[in-house]
Amino acid sequence: MFEKIRIIKRKKDLVPCQHFFIHLKWHEQTVSFGRYGMGVNSFGPLNQYIDIQEFASQISPYLHDNGSILVYIHGFMAHIGFFEKKVGYILQNQVFNAVEEQYPIILSLKWESEPDYKESIKAAADKSRLLFETLFALQKELSKLNISIAWSWLCHSMGNRIFAQIFTFWLEHKMELKINRVFLLAADVPSDIFSKEFKMLPHFAQKTYVFKSKSDRTLEIANWIVPYDRLGREGLALKDGFSNVYEIDVSDIQDHRGLAPRLLKHRYYYASETIRGYLVKLLKE
């Protein structure tokens, strides 16, 4: 239905940035590795790498002094090329470049979702397993280079479901896991998730930020399709007991740019200058 974006070796207007990606091609059950580039008004895939070893060798030079990696997980259908380029440019230009000192590597998990919303929910666990295995393999490769990774996570919408499954697999395998910050933005997961999949998250993460908005019409529509209280709209079902989990209500923020963000109030993490600025502030803490 949608044309896949082609990864080419070099584009004249793009310069490599410290933003890499893992691309899960679901129907092929494969992952590929690459690096983004940025131009004056452009952003997109620039380089591709043969395997996890080459990928780790490209990332490692930036991590010897600071092993912090910020993982970005997009939401439902956001793997499509034009969205990847548009959102990627805004985030790179307005957020990621501003926190390069704190996070020398940005790692995007590009996962292909089905157009059918219900099917994407069902398939999330299997997709997350392959992403978990890839991330753990990357951590092992970097460990061989005497690099200890501290992971941070920036998750939007259904990307929060992917992260929840990755975190669950990490716990099940009892693998080493160090987490700095977690940002759960417009989370399309149940509001009681901190009594379930995220029950142990406050024990691993230094700080977790839950962004919610009662104005989020996308999550309201999602509730018509699959009814349950969503974390990104209703907030935490359990308000007490988490000294390092912070709920941030952005319902009243109105400076969304773009027709869809203004109407749906769901893509505020890149469409609102106010929220972009607040993300930078929190990432720098």
Residue 29 has pLDDT above 50, yes or no: yes
Match 């099917």 to its residue by tokens: 119
pLDDT of residue 4: 35
Q: What are phi and psi of 171, to 5 degrees?
A: -65, -45
Residue 102 has pLDDT above 90, yes or no: yes
Q: What confidence tens digit (pLDDT) does each residue in 54-84 have?
A: 999 999 999 989 999 999 999 987 787 778 8
pLDDT grade for 270, boundaries at 50, 70 and 90: very high
Q: Give the separation between CA 160 and CA 122, rounded to whole angstroms.
A: 14
Q: Indicate the helix (H) or strand (E) that contains 44.
A: strand 43-49
Rg (CA), the chain: 18
Q: What confidence tens digit (pLDDT) does each residue in 226-260 have?
A: 999 999 999 999 777 789 999 999 999 999 999 98
pLDDT average, residue stretch 85-108: 96
Bridge-based pairing of strands 179-185 and 150-156 is: parallel
Helices (H) and strands (E) in the chain, counts: 10, 9
pLDDT of residue 82: 74
